[in-house]
Amino acid sequence: MPDYEKLGVFYLGRLFDLDNGRVSDDLLLYDSKDLTTHAVCVGMTGSGKTGLGITLLEEAAIDGIPALVIDPKGDMGNLLLTFPRLQATDFAPWIDPEAAARSGLTVNEFAGKMAKTWQKGIAEWGQDASRIERLQKSADISIYTPGSQTGLPLTMLRSFTAPSAALAGDPEAMRDRLVSSVSGLLALLGITADPIRSREHILLSNILQQAWGEGRSLDIRNLIREIQDPPFDKVGVFDLDSFFPGSERLDLAVRLNNLLASPSFAGWMEGEPLEIGRLLYTPHGKPRISIISIAHLSDTERMSFVTLLLNEIVSWMRSQPGTTSLRALLYMDEIFGYFPPTSVPPSKVPMLTLLKQARAYGLGVVLATQNPVDLDYKGLANAGTWFIGRLQTERDKMRVLEGLEGASQASGHTFDRSKMDKILSALGHRVFLMHNVHEDQPILCQTRWALSYMRGPLTRKQIQSLMEPRKAESAAGVSGIPAQPLKAESREPSHIEPDTTGKPDVPSRISQFYLPVAVSVGESDNLVYRPTLLGTAKLHFVSARANVDVWQNLSLVASLSGVDISIPWEEATLVPNESLYLEKQPRPNIPFASLPPAASRESSYTGWKSSLASHLYQHRTQVLWESRDFKQFSQIGENEGDFRGRLAHLMHEKRDLEVEKLRKRYAPKLAQMQERLRKAQVRVEREKAQYGQQKVQTAVSVGATLIGAIFGRKTMSSGTIGRATTSMRGAGRIAREKEDIGRAQREVQLIDERLRNLEEEFQTEIADLKMDFKPEDLELIELMIRPRKTDVAITGFALIWTPWKIIQAGFAEPAFALKTLDQVRP
């Protein structure tokens, strides 16, 4: 195993000798746990900042750490360009023709040059093709393009989901989420709103607060309706109409509706839900590097989407248990404009929340920028690690020094500003100053060669090509996206028997409601209402073995057309209660389909209600997963992928704990042995110095004796004899000093050998802890939990009329929308 393949460390490069201008052999191994205190990477264009980010994310993937990557420029998609064979044909499709032309080469020739460059670069940094293969197998890397079908689309429909119980119980966090959610939405409309003075902001905040307080989620369609008819009569002490007249509320609703109806906004309504758990892990538990490319969006769309995304991350974060190990990464390649020093854009509030609180949940935030002057360095004082590359201006350097000093003071470390100033002025390409509050002092390093091909920003066509296989998988239902249409709104034309006598008679005790029309309807289009049953229920799931005791509210929608209505629940669609926005009155001028005869009798509804309770007991089981290896059960509402991801993090926690125990056990031994080695080396130098001094003194004495014997008296005096005797003794002392040096050197060798043995013993124990743990390969046992029969309670029962759009004589397609529970939670 290479020296850099350690447990819980990222191989980022090697230490750099600034005085001699060369890289050393000492590896830079960064402890992944240090990223829980966040990191900032600053450097001008050409400093190697993007390469450092790619390298860090590669290491995270290899270590099984999932990451969310916000990519405003399109560079981070290079993580998908990994070629274990390192052949020219692998590189050729991704070569920039202009770059090849500037080099005076054809595309194929340039591809051959890049292949050789990567072969040499990877080898020089102690890596090989097997590590590229390991990177490919370690994580699922995908590119998402919100609002576009270029990559994998993301929908904004769930952007206003009711917060988790943990978030709802934190008033400050709820306030921040409200402010940033509303600000982000208004930014999409081109409205820059003050949360205190803006009527639009206050109205929307109150609507969301009311809905979330009731546990209801709102999509944009329902939000438009509640703007026109809010669920409250007062705002503060003012009547609603005095504060925001109905006609002006209608104008706001129309603006939002125009956005919703705009063809350019249609892309925002399609794709995978903006759900953090599924962006971090596949349905089978494999960690993901989800690259969210926003280069194609306008500035207002970017701000709105980033704000909504950060809010979702905050909500997800608060639903996780506390940890000291790294659970996941949030990486933003260019933070410019989203975290400025003075103004407060919608994205700043949730970003500041993450920087202050994410550490406790194991979420590491890494922010990169080439414009340090435009960053809020007071907020970034929460970052424990700074990677600083070559800077463009003196002003940039001063601002970085200010941020470094703040981070040092926050962590209780001393800061040598003049020394840092000198170092920053001498940095070169791919050379960074790493200031880590977890280390004793800052270090200089050069980043390693990236495993991924750094071709620069990907084009839209290249992103589309890379994601085509994933889209094919999604279409087949492989990625957890439902491949089949909903039972209650099949897209196949359905035969309808229209009623010619108006609205059918329904027993007076049966409640009736109407689903809103959710499609655009032209003047020549015809609609018809179709009968459907709605049953709402409360179920109680209990399992002492799995430590489960929860209640669940749900709704079932069952068609009364074209099915065996004696048992309508067999083909029913399960939907979350909050997704059903029901109207009390029908839309004018829409005829009704005929009602089955049984639906005209009250006794039928009694039977359907009773059969609903039996159906729920028999078929509405909760599926849990058990891991006997970890002695863990999944939780109600936790999908398989999230459970596998949680097990992977438990493994990381256990690994980090064991490594820390080993460090504490071996640290005193290693320190003691290193001190003995230091003293032995000092002794060698002292013996060498004494030996040299004795040689000089003896040489002088012998020289004087010879001179006296040759040039002095004819017969040797007693003094001469004495000096000769002294010289003989000096020669003896030289021999003894030489022997002392030998003994000291042998002691150094012995201690050095013992130190190496101790280090090898430590590394062996570390290696024994290493497990090639793949959460997607872990064996899970499926556990079915039925609801407690005596606790099944039918809480509501009604007949609802669903609008259908007639497409030809006697045939129609649904004009309403339902979200199934599977769409909300895979």
pLDDT digits (tens, 9 = 90+) for 502-545: 788 899 899 999 988 877 677 677 888 989 999 999 999 999 99
pLDDT at 397 over 90: no
Is 90 exceeded by the pLDDT of residue 497?
no
Please indicate, yes or no, if residue 741 is contained in any of the structural domains.
yes
685 and 659 in a common domain? yes
Lowest-confidence segment of 253-257, 317-321, 697-701 by average pLDDT? 697-701
Mean pLDDT of 383-411: 81
Q: Is residue 653 part of a domain?
A: yes
Strand pairing partners for 234?
239
Residue 77's CB is within 10 A of a number of other CB atoms, namely: 27
Regarding predicted confidence, which is higher, 270 or 785?
A: 785
Q: What is the pLDDT of residue 179?
A: 81
Scan for tokens 């929308």, then name that residue: 817
* Average pLDDT of the residues in 807-825: 62
pLDDT in tens, 277-305: 889 999 888 999 999 999 999 888 898 88
Instruction: Please tell me whether residues 583 and 502 are part of one structural domain.
Output: yes
Size of the chain, expressed as the number of residues it contains: 826
pLDDT of residue 119: 96
Structural domain that includes position 532? 487-621+786-824
CB-based contacts of 146-149 (< 8 A; 24+ apart in sequence): 146/267, 146/268, 146/271, 146/274, 146/292, 146/294, 146/297, 146/305, 147/265, 147/267, 147/268, 147/296, 147/297, 147/301, 147/305, 148/267, 148/296, 149/267, 149/270
Q: Which residue has the higher pLDDT, 364 or 621?
A: 364
Is pLDDT above 60 for 808? yes
Are residues 615 and 494 both part of a single domain? yes
Task: Give the contacts of 740 (CB within 8 A, at least 6 positions apart).
Answer: 687, 690, 691
φ/ψ (deg, to 5) at 104: 70, 30
Residue 614 confidence (pLDDT) above 60: yes
Question: What pLDDT, on the 0 to 100 scale, is given for residue 441?
Answer: 82
Mean pLDDT of the chain: 82
More confident residue, 206 or 218: 206
Cα distances from 776 to residues 116, 268, 652, 780, in angstroms, run: 35, 31, 15, 10
Pair (684, 755) in one structural domain? yes
Predicted pLDDT of residue 482: 34
Least confident range from 118-127, 673-682, 698-707: namely 698-707
Question: 493 falls in which pLDDT band (50, 70, 90)?
Answer: very low
Phi and psi angles of residue 270, each rounded to the nearest 5 degrees, phi first: -120, 155
Domain membership flag for residue 150: no
What digits encode the pLDDT tens for the residues 87-111?
Answer: 999 999 999 999 999 999 999 999 9
The predicted pLDDT at position 484 comes to 33
Total structural domains within the chain:
2
Taking CA 442 as the corner, what is the angle to CA 436 and CA 448, rounded to the nearest 5 degrees?
A: 80
Whether pLDDT at 567 is above 80: no
pLDDT at 262 over 90: no
Give the up-direction half-sphere exposure of residue 449: CA atoms within 13 A in the CB hemisphere. 18
pLDDT given at position 759: 78
> Could you tell me if 768 and 716 lie in one domain?
yes
Residues ≥6 apart with Cβ < 8 Å to 73: 295, 333, 334, 457
Same domain for 708 and 733? yes
335-349, 455-469, 710-724: least confident range: 710-724
Residue 37 maps to a domain: no
Residue range 26-51: mean pLDDT, rounded: 92
- The model's confidence at residue 718, banded by pLDDT at 50, 70 and 90, is very low
pLDDT of amino acid 735: 67
Q: Which long-range contacts (C-beta less than 8 Å, at least 24 apart) are formed by 106-109?
A: none
pLDDT at position 752 is 81
Strands 234-235 and 385-388: unpaired
Residue 344 confidence (pLDDT) above 70 = yes
- Per-residue pLDDT band for 812 (boundaries 50, 70, 90) equals confident
The residue with greater pLDDT, 704 or 163, is 163
**Mean pLDDT calculated for residue range 669-683:** 81
Please answer whether residues 536 and 624 qualify as being in contact, where contact means their C-beta atoms are separated by less than 8 angstroms: no
Are 746 and 796 in a shared domain? no
For residue 499, pLDDT beyond 60: no
Lowest mean pLDDT among 153-162, 192-201, 350-359, 443-452: 153-162
Residues 561 and 663 in one domain: no
Sheet of strand 781-785: strand arrangement: 632-633, 622-627, 781-785
Identify whether the C-beta of residue 404 lies closer than 8 Å to the C-beta of residue 415: yes
Task: Give the Cα separation of 237 and 358 in Å (integer).
Answer: 38
Cα–Cα–Cα angle for 546, 552, 556, rounded to 5 degrees: 130
Q: What is the percent of the chain where pLDDT is above 90?
A: 36
pLDDT at position 823, please?
Answer: 36
What average pLDDT does range 413-434 have in this prediction? 83
Q: How confident is the model at residue 576 (pLDDT cuts 50, 70, 90)?
A: low
* Domain CATH number, residue 760: 1.10.287
Query: Whose CA is closest to 329, among 303, 290, 371?
Result: 290
Residues 617, 681, single domain; the answer is: no
Q: How confident is the model at residue 165 (pLDDT cuts 50, 70, 90)?
A: low
Query: Domain for residue 516, yes or no?
Result: yes
Name the nearest CA neighbour of 516 among 599, 600, 590, 596. 590
Asked if the structure places residue 582 within a domain, the reply is yes
- Segment 177-200 shows an average pLDDT of 82
Among candidate residues 252, 280, 195, 271, the one with its CA nearest the CA of residue 645: 280
The band of 412, judged by pLDDT with boundaries at 50, 70 and 90, is: low
Residue type, 318: R
Q: Which of 317-326, 501-510, 766-775 has the highest mean pLDDT?
A: 317-326
**Could you tell me where the DSSP H helices lie in 214-321?**
220-228, 240-243, 246-261, 276-280, 299-318
Same domain, 819 and 718: no
Give pLDDT, residue 714. Answer: 39
In sign, the C-alpha dihedral spanning 112, 116, 119, 121 is negative
Query: What is the pLDDT, as a whole number, of residue 426?
Result: 80
> If pLDDT is split at 50, 70 and 90, which confidence band does 411 have?
low
User: Is the CB of residue 61 less than 8 Å from the CB of residue 467?
Assistant: no
Q: Lowest mean pLDDT: which of 158-172, 287-301, 361-375?
A: 158-172
- 80 falls in which pLDDT band (50, 70, 90)? very high
Residue 288 belongs to some domain of the structure: no
For strands 154-155 and 272-273, give the pairing: parallel
Higher model confidence: residue 61 or residue 169?
61
**pLDDT recorded at residue 216:** 76
- pLDDT band for position 691 (cuts 50, 70, 90): low
Q: How far apart are CA 290 and CA 68, in angstroms?
A: 5
Give residue for tokens 């992944």: 32
Taking 70 as the threshold, does the pLDDT of residue 194 lie above it? yes
Helices (H) and strands (E) in the chain, counts: 21, 25
Which pTM was predicted?
Answer: 0.75
Q: Check whether residue 772 and residue 806 sit in a common domain.
A: no
Judgement on whether residues 671 and 772 belong to the same structural domain of the protein = yes
Residue 651 lies in a domain: yes
